[in-house]
Amino acid sequence: MSPRVFISFTTAVFAALGLLACGGGGGDDEQAIKRTVERSITTKDAALKCDRLGTKSFVTRVYGSPAQCHAAERPAGDDQPPTGASTSDVKIDGDSATIKVRLNGGDSDGASGTIALRKVSGDWRVDDLGVDFLRSQVRAGFANASGDDDDQPLSDPKIRDCATRAFGRLGDQQLRRIAYMAIAETDEGKAQLGKLLSPCLTTPSAGAGNISFLRQRFESGITSGARKDGMSPRAIACINRQLRSSISDDEISKLAFNGVKPPPAIKRHTAEAFGRCQGASGSRGSASVLRQLFERGVRRGATQRGVPKKALDCLIRRLRRTISDDEIVAAMGNSRTKAKLTRKATAQLQRCAAVTQ
């Protein structure tokens, strides 16, 4: 499962937050500031945003480095930035200024608040985003994210309201910190968003068989993989029932938001569910699906090593007699058991090579 499946709706909320200003280039300061903000909101040029338009302190504070800024601001196909902005109430104090802005179009249509600018070498550049602006973008982003897409959790009013309340309870500094990490698309930011929004996404929904949104997406991935491996609908339903009792929504949430590989325990529970549910009706031919997957890996490794077909066929026959399905299940979540099976397979391959020469 790709962690982006589960966080796309949160990153979309902050898609327009990287509002970096371009230089005014002389003339009346108030008009230069307005032009700067209006242009910065609509540009899709990551290099322009990261290298020329923000103050160095802003880029460092938000992204950590120009390189991370480039990576985070690279245009994504599902991003919908604002198409324009309305500006007002410009206040200038020497080389510092603030301006009120309201976004038009895109994911955060209708968001409004304060942007701070600073004059650097004669050019006005964005130096900070007001907390009022960040809060308004969260509210507007959640409101605009509703729709009919089943993959979009905010299409569910309960999840949308829960997420809005979760952000509303954050203090100003905490909100700014999470928002800036979301803009930078850091792993820590994804983890913080996951921790904040997990209660909303792990609450059972009566309209989805009384399971949470995250579990729906998790089971969708399991179902897709099991179908490709030839398992029957009955066997797939059995697997999902088994996993509901052995893998918690909390564990699924950590996988989704932290982007980590499944830990051994989850691998083991998944393998055990496949083992219990496979049956003859759930596989192609007489061999279990789990064994088919195991043998597929053995064949792939042997082919890469140039093992002759006769020796490989001999190996598969011997492994069916010497390695049980239970051992295959155990090896899924235990590195020692996996190493033991590897040694056993190597020994059998040596015997087959000697016999078939």
Q: Find the Cα–Cα–Cα–Cα dihedral 271, 274, 277, 283, rounded to 10°.
A: -150
3-state secondary structure of 138: helix
Q: In the Cβ-directed half-sphere of 148, how many Cα atoms lie within 13 Å?
A: 0
* Cβ-contact 21, 126 below 8 angstroms: yes
pLDDT, one tens digit per residue, over 165-220 is 999 999 999 999 998 988 888 888 878 888 888 888 888 765 556 788 888 888 88
Identify the pLDDT of residue 98.
Answer: 96
The model's confidence at residue 103, banded by pLDDT at 50, 70 and 90, is very high
Q: Find the Cα–Cα–Cα–Cα dihedral 86, 89, 94, 97, rounded to 10°.
A: -50
Closest by Cα among 30, 153, 195 to 97? 30
Burial of 261 (0-12, 13-18, 19+ CB in 10 A): exposed
Domain boundaries, the chain: 3-198, 213-282, 289-356
Between CA 329 and CA 273 the distance in angstroms is 9
Between CA 166 and CA 174 the distance in angstroms is 12
pLDDT, one tens digit per residue, over 2-50 is 333 333 444 444 444 444 434 444 448 999 899 888 888 888 888 888 8
Mark residue 248 as left, alpha or beta (left: phi above 0; alpha: psi -120 to 50; beta: remaining).
Answer: beta
Q: How far is CA 21 from CA 122, 185, 286, 323, in A?
A: 13, 20, 66, 65
Residue 355 token pair: 């016999």
Of all residues in the chain, the percent with pLDDT exceeding 70 is 83
* Cβ-contact 181, 68 below 8 angstroms: no
Identify the pLDDT of residue 277.
Answer: 80
Longest dimension (CA), the chain: 90
Between CA 111 and CA 101 the distance in angstroms is 8
Report whether pLDDT(107) > 90.
no
* Cβ-contact 68, 59 below 8 angstroms: no
* Cβ-contact 341, 349 below 8 angstroms: no
pLDDT, one tens digit per residue, over 248-284 is 988 888 777 766 667 777 877 887 787 778 653 444 4
* Cβ-contact 116, 130 below 8 angstroms: yes
What is the model's pTM?
Answer: 0.65
The pairing of beta strand 112-120 with beta strand 96-104: antiparallel
Q: How far is CA 188 from CA 21, 26, 128, 185, 205, in A?
A: 26, 40, 21, 8, 28
For tokens 């983890």, the residue is 191
The model's confidence at residue 104, banded by pLDDT at 50, 70 and 90, is very high
Closest by Cα among 238, 246, 227, 247 to 277? 238
Between CA 153 and CA 182 the distance in angstroms is 18
Identify the pLDDT of residue 78.
Answer: 67
Between CA 178 and CA 162 the distance in angstroms is 17
Between CA 18 and CA 172 the distance in angstroms is 18
Question: CB neighbours of 180 closer than 8 A, spacing ≥ 6?
Answer: 61, 62, 189
Of 37-46, 80-89, 122-131, 183-192, where does the model show the most confidence? Answer: 122-131
- Amino acid in the structure at residue 115: I
Between CA 248 and CA 207 the distance in angstroms is 20
